[in-house]
Amino acid sequence: MLSDRGYNIGQEHYAESVDSLKEKITKTTNPESGAGSYNGLDYQYFKKQDGRAVDADFQADFDHNKIGVFWRYEEDKINSETLKGVQIAALTLKVNRVILIVKGETSLAKRTQADSKVLAMEVFTLDDLQVNITEHVLVPKHTVLTDDQKQELLKQYRIKDHQLPKIRSSDPIARYFGVSRGDVMKIIRPSETAGRYVTYRVVM
């Protein structure tokens, strides 16, 4: 999922077991290594390949091209203390976008996803991440346009972004790519007559 979002993911992470990940993080004390434990939360962070940038509403001293992945292995559900710990850790590590992986999601987590102004927090359960939905045979290919590509598209068709078909930010595909309101997704479907059929949707 992170690789599809444009982050640098080492090959060693693809086949890494939970036990080996636990062991590595337990032995890690230097945050510059990209993994460690902070305030009772295990984490890893990854940087974007292309330096695609960022929401201007976020504070300037954050590393906008870095995402932190936080989790606790033993918790069935998260509470306000867990979320507070993630926020403190993210601010300390100067990360303004995080993914929190939990065993069971709560309404508190959903509300935090919508309410946070400084920290963009996405919450996924372990079940959410068991299958890569983009590889399902019925799911067409999706890509997220860059800002320049979006502007070129709007210029080409002489439209405003709100005139495009919509996709909700809560859609599983939108969540997979971590898109935000106003982003535009390109969707390519096979076509028996034209070979392929391209549509665009704006995130709402």
pLDDT tens string, the chain, 204 residues long: the values are 998 998 888 776 666 666 676 666 655 555 555 677 766 677 888 888 765 444 434 344 566 788 999 887 666 567 777 788 888 888 888 888 899 888 766 665 555 554 556 788 898 888 888 889 999 999 999 999 999 999 999 999 999 999 999 999 999 999 999 999 999 999 999 988 878 999 999 999
pLDDT at 59: 43
Concatenated DSSP letters of 41-107:
EEEEEEEBSS-----TTS-TTS-TTEEEEEE-SS-SS--HHHHHHHHHHHHHTT-SEEEEEESS--H
Direct distance between the N- and C-terminal alpha carbons of the chain, in angstroms, rounded to an integer: 21
- Taking the model in full, what pTM does it have? 0.81
pLDDT at 167: 97
pLDDT at 52: 47
pLDDT at 90: 85
Nearest to 78 by CA among 43, 124, 115, 38: 124
Domains identified in the chain and CATH numbers: 11-129 (3.40.1340.10), 133-203 (3.90.940.20)
């992986």: which residue's tokens? 101
Nearest to 161 by CA among 104, 201, 123, 111: 201
173/170 Cα distance (integer angstroms): 8
